């Protein structure tokens, strides 16, 4: 189900300005012609100062939460309909994980399915046509798509695929990540995994290797400013040492100025981590307030 990695494109197909000069052409693609660029002097948009155009680009492309989703053999993205990521929680409808207020449901393989039932429903948020208008608009606006949006993931494979199907220079511009991951079984717990009676006990993307690779990718993102990771599991860790091994890959992500890790189970506080670990509020059963 994995999408194909980003293809190596010849320099003649670059969308951004300036285009390569004939002397920069490689001998590998001598038969290709350079893309044609037409001056946009008659465009009302291009007659505006660059500062005003950038404000328009950001309003069209940025300042939203982009839910990255897995489709069959490719990725998709949906602009969040909620005012913020906090108001668009990942829920369970008794059958599967869903964001019913926003984009629909996923199946057992985390493949997205829209509420309408139309699997061919477009998921580009009307962004792609704007970027394809002309090279100047693409060149001036593309950075806002990556640098000003929050990219939301609810599947580890989705993030890994996104990193290898996006130009490295674009992927490096991302500043905000929102990750929600439901663990199907405790990782780094050999006793719990022995109960599954299978070899290997855990399969991707629920295994330790996928977990570590995901956070290696995140740790290498140079411009991250905020990460919110919400880790969901129906029960707590049997051994605090297993939890520590599970959180160890997160310690490598030291770039963000703000890094929150929300977990759904109780436990002890940790020290010396680059993130703030937020556990559920404990309720004292011995405390009773007569006013309540």
DSSP state of 89: -
For residue range 89-119, list pLDDT tens digits in order.
Answer: 777 666 666 776 677 777 777 788 777 666 6
What is the residue range of 204's domain? 183-279
For residue range 54-93, list pLDDT tens digits in order.
Answer: 999 999 999 999 989 888 878 888 888 887 767 777 776 6
Is residue 272, in this structure, part of any structural domain at all? Answer: yes
Number of compact structural domains in the chain = 1
The model carries a pTM of: 0.83
Is residue 84, in this structure, part of any structural domain at all? Answer: no
Question: So what's the pLDDT on residue 163?
Answer: 93
Distance separating alpha carbons of residues 113 and 16, to the nearest angstrom: 34
Residue of 127, 128, 134 whose CA lies nearest to 19: 134
Average model confidence (pLDDT) across the chain: 81
Over residues 164-182, the mean pLDDT reads 93
Residue 258 reports pLDDT greater than 60: yes
Is residue 46, in this structure, part of any structural domain at all? Answer: no
For residue range 1-56, list pLDDT tens digits in order.
Answer: 566 666 665 554 566 676 555 555 444 444 445 556 677 778 898 899 999 999 99
């Amino acid at each position: 189900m994995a999408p194909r990695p980003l293809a190596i494109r010849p320099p003649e197909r670059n969308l951004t300005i300036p285009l390569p000069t004939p002397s920069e052409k490689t001998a590998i693609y001598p038969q290709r012609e350079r893309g044609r660029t037409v001056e946009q002097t008659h465009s009302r948009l291009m007659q505006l100062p660059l500062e005003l155009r950038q404000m328009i680009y950001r309003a069209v492309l940025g300042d939203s939460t982009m839910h990255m989703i897995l489709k069959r053999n490719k990725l998709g993205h949906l602009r969040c309909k909620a005012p913020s990521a906090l108001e668009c929680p990942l829920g369970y409808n008794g059958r599967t994980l869903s964001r019913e207020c926003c984009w629909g449901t996923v199946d057992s393989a985390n493949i997205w399915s829209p509420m309408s039932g139309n699997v061919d429903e477009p998921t580009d948020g009307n962004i792609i046509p704007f970027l394809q208008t002309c090279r100047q608009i693409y060149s001036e606006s593309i950075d806002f798509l990556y640098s000003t949006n929050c990219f939301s993931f609810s599947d580890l494979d989705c993030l890994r695929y996104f990193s290898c199907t996006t130009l490295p220079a674009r992927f490096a511009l991302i500043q905000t990540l929102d990750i929600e991951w439901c663990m199907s079984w405790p990782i780094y717990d050999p006793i719990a995994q022995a109960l599954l009676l299978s070899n290997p006990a855990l399969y991707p993307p629920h295994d330790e290797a996928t977990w570590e690779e995901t956070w290696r990718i995140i740790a290498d993102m140079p411009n991250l400013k905020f990460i919110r990771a919400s880790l969901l599991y129906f029960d707590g860790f049997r051994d605090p040492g297993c939890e520590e091994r599970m959180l160890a890959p997160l310690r490598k992500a030291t770039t963000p100025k703000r890094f929150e890790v929300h977990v759904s189970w109780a436990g002890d506080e940790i020290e010396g981590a680059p993130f703030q670990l937020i556990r559920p509020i404990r309720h004292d059963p011995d405390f009773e307030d007569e006013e309540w």
